[in-house]
Amino acid sequence: MRAQQTARGDPRRWWGLVVIALAQLMVVLDATIVNIALPSAQRDLHMSDTNRQWVITAYTLAFGGLLLLGGRVADLIGRKRAFLAGLAGFAGASALGGAAHTAGLLFTARALQGGFAAVLAPAALSLLTTTFTDPRERGRAFGIYGAIAGGGAAIGLIAGGLLTEYLDWRWCLYVNVPIALAAVLGGTWLLHDHRPGRAERPRLDLPGVLLGCGGLVAIVYACSEAEPRGWDDPLVLGLLCGGVALLAAFLRWQAHAADPLLPLPVLRDRDRAGALLVMALAFMAMFGLFLFLTYYLQQVLGYSPLRTGLAFLPMSAAIVVSSTQISARLLHHLPPRALMTPGACLAAGGLFLMGFLPVEPAYVSHVLPAEILTGLGMGLLFMPVIDTVTSRVAPRDAGVTSATVNTAQQVGGSIGTALLNTIAISTATAYIGPRLHAPATAGGLSPAVRDRIVKEGVVHGFDVALLWGAGIMLAAAAVAWTVITRPAAARTPTAPDPATAYATDYDPHRMRAD
């Protein structure tokens, strides 16, 4: 346990948290900063409405699909090395995306960003969990981390508005280069990590990577193809069935692999598995909100990119306040589900209000209260989820367990973006088509009437998709209340050390080196 004592007494650990927070902000920010730039990039690179979601989905899918591998890489080569390598690769992929002149190259760069983020993010979170082991310090550190994880998404929308309006949409990608450089310099000096000895290092589970990533890609691609083909199309059904079969084979393989990519005891803990499901469901709903609200504000209400970004500011502020001033203070005094459940219900209420957007300007009456409710709810949700997943984990598996948090976020976001975008486009098409092709009156429909019908159809599609998002968020609340039974940390004073408790259940011999 010497390494943990050193970390606990390191006077520079809070500056190290600044570096970790900066890297996490870049990863989370990049998932949404492109949202504001997406309408401009779509016009510039001639993307279709169906394919535009791949700018987001290529990133989140590569991120989510490779996170378990990235977590194992961090356990294998050391978390600090993985952290710095992920930062460098992320910067290079961002520069490639900023220079893209075709949609295909932009999709490729976004996938590369996601791949390097899959190495960076679990390394950052596992550095955080192994640096701050004191319960009180851990609560404050997770409060900052949770605020960044939640608020960074909305901050990305504001930054995207500034960069798109005053520079160019490409700077939404170029901006990552100086941020990554600053984090590399700070991380090299401030972060500490003990590289595991040869006997402690796990081997990479390449069959697990192929099965897990293949299953996730198949399911997300099926959701994206459902809009032009229909849910009953043979290709869509085949992809869905194939994806489920690959994931089932992945779980079966993990049960027998010598060094599994995802040790199944990590998921056998009921509270941990429930918290991961809550995170996945919450992000399924939230990624759709960012996408639809961006297009509503820019294309329907005519907001500029900067004004659109500023319109998200109340949500960002609500997430930061809720996570740092409410959730962080109550984390060790209430059971996790007592924070997760009301948080998910508040967020569901915000999404429900957002599901009644009119064509006319309605920011103050509809958007603002919905943003505040959603932000408060997500701020309550983040911290107890992250704490529940990452506590009581053996140091050998800190990287891969940290990766499961980000996997739940990104896979949920990938499936949610593809699914809700499909629902929105299909609903809008069903609304617009009959009205535009109805028996024409004398002289036909005027351009103003046609434009009005199209806007009404687009907004109707957004409304229906957001109501689906509210239902998904209510499902997250139900899972939190019924599945997670862990008591408050403050009520279990005799609980074992968080770094060793899980190791006792999992494999007592793995702690010999400590």
- What was the pLDDT predicted at 343? 92
Mean pLDDT, range 250-277, rounded to an integer: 80
Mean per-residue pLDDT for 503-509? 32
Q: Which residue has the higher pLDDT, 2 or 59?
A: 59
Tens digit of each residue's pLDDT (9 = 90 or more) over 42-73? 888 888 776 777 887 788 777 777 777 777 77
pLDDT value of residue 292: 86
Binned at pLDDT 50, 70 and 90, residue 114 comes out as confident
Distance CA 406, CA 507 (A): 25
Burial bucket for residue 143 (CB in 10 Å: 0-12, 13-18, 19+): buried
Decide: pTM greater than 0.75. no
- Cβ 147 vs Cβ 322: under 8 Å: no
95 CB contacts (<8 Å, ≥6 apart)? 173, 174, 177
CA 350/CA 354 separation, integer angstroms: 6
CA 201 to CA 301: how far, in whole Å? Answer: 55
Tell me what pLDDT residue 508 has. 29
pLDDT at site 328: 77
Give the whole-number percent of the chain exceeding pLDDT 70: 78
Which carries the bigger pLDDT value, residue 474 or residue 505?
Answer: 474
Q: Among 389, 369, 387, 469, which Cα is nearest to 421's?
A: 469
Distances (CA, A) of 149 to 26, 173, 339, 365, 397: 10, 19, 17, 27, 22
Residue 117: CB atoms within 10 Å? 32
353: Cβ–Cβ under 8 A, 6 or more apart, which residues? 366, 369, 370, 373
Does the pLDDT of residue 280 top 70, yes or no? yes
- pLDDT tens digits, residue range 286-335? 877 877 888 888 888 888 878 887 888 888 888 888 887 888 788 778 88
- Per the CB < 8 A criterion, the answer to whether 173 and 95 are in contact is yes
Q: What is the pLDDT of residue 477?
A: 94
Poorest-pLDDT segment among 211-220, 349-358, 458-467, 489-498 = 489-498
Percent of the residues in the chain that have a pLDDT greater than 90, as a whole number? 13
443: left (phi over 0), alpha (psi -120 to 50) or beta: left
- C-alpha distances (whole Å) from 117 to each of 26, 388, 394 are 9, 22, 23
Does position 348 have pLDDT exceeding 90, yes or no? yes
Confidence of residue 166 (pLDDT cuts 50, 70, 90): confident
What lies within 8 Å, CB to CB, of 416 at 6+ separation is 283, 284, 285, 286, 287, 288, 469, 472
pLDDT at position 442: 46
Q: Name which residue leads in pLDDT, 214 or 31.
A: 214
The answer to whether 227 and 425 are in contact (CB under 8 A) is yes
In the structure, what pLDDT confidence band is assigned to residue 502 with cuts at 50, 70 and 90? very low
The string of pLDDT tens digits covering residues 3-41 is 444 444 566 667 667 777 778 778 777 766 777 778 888
The pLDDT assigned to 312 comes to 82
pLDDT of 497: 35
pLDDT at position 268 is 76
Give the model's confidence band at 510: pLDDT under 50 very low, under 70 low, under 90 confident, else very high.
Answer: very low
